[in-house]
Amino acid sequence: MPGYKNPFPTVDLIIEIKGQDGSPGFILIKRKNPPYGWALPGGFVDYGETLERAAVREAKEETSLDVELITQFHTYSNPGRDPRCHTISTIFIARAKGRPKAQDDATEIGIFKAENVPRPLAFDHEKILADYFRSKKKAKEVTRRP
């Protein structure tokens, strides 16, 4: 449709992985390009590509890891979530093994826990991680009930 603008679909991943000490954590990358800061691995969905395929591709491009998608977590659509343009991001929770390596849009990479999340975080990734930690806590509480 001429003159009609659509938001751009993106994907981001919360990649659960064991750190060097064997304890569970998740991967963040430090962005090479604006907006700068630490971020979940992810990016734009290519035309003709499924969200799932885009998530697997972006994880490989930015972390060098092959991931297993576990679940679709949530979709974030606030028009101001990305200062470059209006994006809608579907977040996946994934698992990976191995040592991540910063590639593509990443200058650094790390495995973090809720207690040591680096700042600043890019986009709305602070909110996404807060929602993720809250959902993990809630799941643990439900599991502990008799």
Give me the CATH number covering residue 62.
3.90.79.10
Render pLDDT for 63-94 as a digit per residue (tens, 0 to 9): 999 999 999 999 999 999 999 999 999 999 99
| Residue 114 structure tokens | 């809720």
Q: Which domain holds residue 79?
A: 8-144
In a domain, 2, yes or no: no
Under a CB-based contact definition with an 8 Å cutoff, are residues 28 and 38 in contact?
A: yes
Question: Catalytic positions, please?
Answer: 108
Q: Is the pLDDT of residue 143 over 90?
A: no
How many domains, the chain? 1
In a domain, 24, yes or no: yes
Using DSSP bridges, classify how beta strands 8-18 and 87-95 pair: parallel, antiparallel or unpaired. Answer: parallel
